[in-house]
C-alpha cells in the first residue's frame, strides 16, 4: 500500500540538468547533487519546528529557502502566507514534528494546502520525525491507528509524497533510513576488530544484525521485560561483549531508561566502553541527566529534531547531520532519479 499516488509519469518527461555539467560527470561525481540544483521549477519551504535543518538542506543543494510568513493569533491558530509564486513548481516543505507535535502537524497541513491552492505542481512533505509513527498498528482493542490518520490528513491537505526518516513504522513504505549514516560514523570513529553492535531489545534485532553484517562485526541483544511504557523491569544480555567496544543502536531515545540500563549491563558484562547511536534523540524528562550519569561514553543522535539545547546541557551528546542525505533525496526526486540507493549508502 502506498499512501500518496503520483500525479504524473515523471519518467516520460525530460529533465534539465544544471549548467556546466554534462549528465555523465554529474552522476559520477561522489558529491553530485550537493549544491547542484539550479532552482528552475523547485521551491523549498521551512516550517517553524526545525528551520536549522531546512537551511542545511537548502545550502547543500545550492538553493535559498523560499519565503513564507507563518504566524499564530491570540487563540493559537496558525496563519500561513506563501510569499512567492509556486505555480507549476515542485515544492518541498521541511517541518519535523517534535515538541508541540500537534501544532507542527497542523502548521504543515496548512502550508501544504496553501501551496496546493496556489497551483503547485507537486508537493512533498519532508518530515524527519513523522508524527505518531509509534501508533502504527492496533495493539489493543478499540485503539486507533493514528499514523494512518496523519497520513490521510496530509493527503487530503494536498501532499503527494512524504520523506520521513524512520525504520520501524509499518505504515511508512517510503522511509529514508538513518542506518547508512550510522555505519559511516562507526567506520570513521572505531576499529572494526574490537566492535560489537548491540540491540537494546529484541524488536531492534533486525536493525542491529543488518549493521553488524555490513560492518563485518559481532552483534548482541537484550531481552527486556516492561512493567509499563518507558519503564524496563529486567534485561537479559544475549551475546559476548567482554573486552569489546559495545555500540547500542536504536531508532529513538525518549527517556533513555532502556539505553542507560543497557549500558550499565554492558559495563558489568565486561565491555571496555559503551556508546549509543540513535536516529531520533527526543531526550525528554530527566533523560539528559540520566545520560550524563550513565556508563555511556557518548550518545550519538541525528538532527531530525533540534539538538542545540541538548548539546549545551550534556557533553556526551554528539550529532550526525542528516541534512546532506535529505538534500540528495530532494535532488534525486526532483530529477526523477531513483532514491533506493540512499537506503544503503551515504551520498558524501
Confidence class for position 18, pLDDT limits 50, 70, 90 = very low
Which cell goes with 195? 566492535
Phi, psi of 101 (to 5 degrees): -60, -45
Distances (CA, A) of 28 to 50, 338, 340: 32, 14, 17
Nearest CA among 85, 145, 93 for reference residue 119? 85
Angstrom distance (rounded) from CA 146 to CA 315: 35
Confidence class for position 77, pLDDT limits 50, 70, 90 = very high
Give residue 36's pLDDT. 55
Give residue 224's pLDDT. 72
Which stretch, 91-105, 176-190, 219-233, has highest mean pLDDT?
Answer: 91-105
Angstrom distance (rounded) from CA 33 to CA 190: 29
Which cell goes with 209? 544484525
For residue 222, list its beta bridge partners.
237
The DSSP bridge pattern shows strands 218-228 and 231-238 to be antiparallel
Residue-wise pLDDT for 35-59, tens only, equals 456 666 999 999 999 999 999 999 9
Write down all domains in the chain, each with its CATH number in brackets.
Answer: 10-177+324-343 (3.40.50.2020), 179-320 (3.40.50.2020)
Average pLDDT over residues 90-109: 96
Give residue 137's pLDDT. 84
Give residue 241's pLDDT. 97
Q: Is the pLDDT of residue 160 over 60?
A: yes
Range name among 5-14, 179-188, 315-324 with the lowest pLDDT average: 5-14
Confidence class for position 228, pLDDT limits 50, 70, 90 = low
- Higher-pLDDT residue of 3 and 247 is 247
Give residue 235's pLDDT. 84
Nearest CA among 271, 258, 260, 323 for reference residue 293? 260
Angstrom distance (rounded) from CA 325 to CA 114: 27
Q: Is the pLDDT of residue 13 over 60?
A: no
Amino acid at each position: 500500500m502506498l499512501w500518496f499516488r503520483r500525479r504524473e509519469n515523471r519518467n516520460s518527461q525530460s529533465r534539465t540538468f544544471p549548467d556546466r555539467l554534462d549528465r555523465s560527470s554529474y552522476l559520477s561525481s561522489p558529491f553530485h547533487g550537493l549544491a547542484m540544483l539550479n532552482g528552475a521549477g523547485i521551491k523549498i519551504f521551512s516550517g517553524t519546528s526545525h528551520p536549522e535543518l531546512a537551511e542545511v538542506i537548502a545550502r547543500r543543494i545550492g538553493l535559498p529557502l523560499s519565503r513564507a510568513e507563518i504566524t499564530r493569533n491570540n487563540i493559537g491558530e496558525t496563519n500561513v502566507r506563501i510569499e512567492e509564486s509556486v505555480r507549476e513548481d515542485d515544492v518541498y516543505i521541511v517541518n519535523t514534528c517534535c515538541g508541540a507535535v500537534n501544532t507542527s502537524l497542523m502548521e504543515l497541513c496548512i502550508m501544504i494546502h496553501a501551496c496546493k491552492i496556489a497551483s503547485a505542481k507537486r508537493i512533498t512533505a519532508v518530515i524527519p520525525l513523522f508524527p505518531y509513527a509509534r501508533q502504527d498498528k492496533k495493539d489493543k482493542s478499540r485503539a486507533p491507528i493514528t499514523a494512518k490518520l496523519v497520513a490521510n490528513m496530509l493527503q487530503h491537505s494536498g501532499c503527494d509524497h512524504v520523506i520521513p526518516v524512520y525504520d520501524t513504522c509499518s505504515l511508512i513504505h517510503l522511509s529514508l533510513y538513518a542506518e547508512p549514516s550510522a555505519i559511516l560514523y562507526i567506520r570513521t570513529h572505531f576499529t572494526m576488530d574490537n566492535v560489537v553492535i548491540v540491540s537494546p531489545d529484541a524488536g531492534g534485532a533486525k536493525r542491529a544484525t543488518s549493521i553488524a553484517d555490513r560492518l563485518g562485526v559481532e552483534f548482541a541483544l537484550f531481552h527486556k521485560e516492561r512493567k509499563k511504557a518507558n519503564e524496563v523491569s529486567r534485561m537479559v544480555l544475549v551475546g559476548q561483549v567482554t573486552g569489546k567496544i559495545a555500540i547500542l543502536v536504536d531508532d529513538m531515545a525518549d527517556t533513555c531508561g532502556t539505553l542507560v540500563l543497557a549500558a550499565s549491563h554492558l559495563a558489568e558484562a565486561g565491555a571496555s566502553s559503551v556508546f549509543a547511536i540513535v536516529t531520533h534523540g527526543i531526550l525528554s524528562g530527566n533523560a539528559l541527566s540520566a545520560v550524563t550519569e550513565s556508563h555511556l561514553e557518548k550518545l550519538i543522535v541525528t538532527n531530525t529534531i533540534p539538538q542545540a539545547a541538548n548539546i549545551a546541557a550534556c557533553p556526551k551528546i554528539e550529532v550526525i547531520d542528516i541534512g546532506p542525505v535529505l538534500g540528495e533525496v530532494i535532488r534525486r526526486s526532483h530529477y526523477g532519479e531513483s532514491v533506493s540507493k540512499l537506503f544503503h549508502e551515504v551520498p558524501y
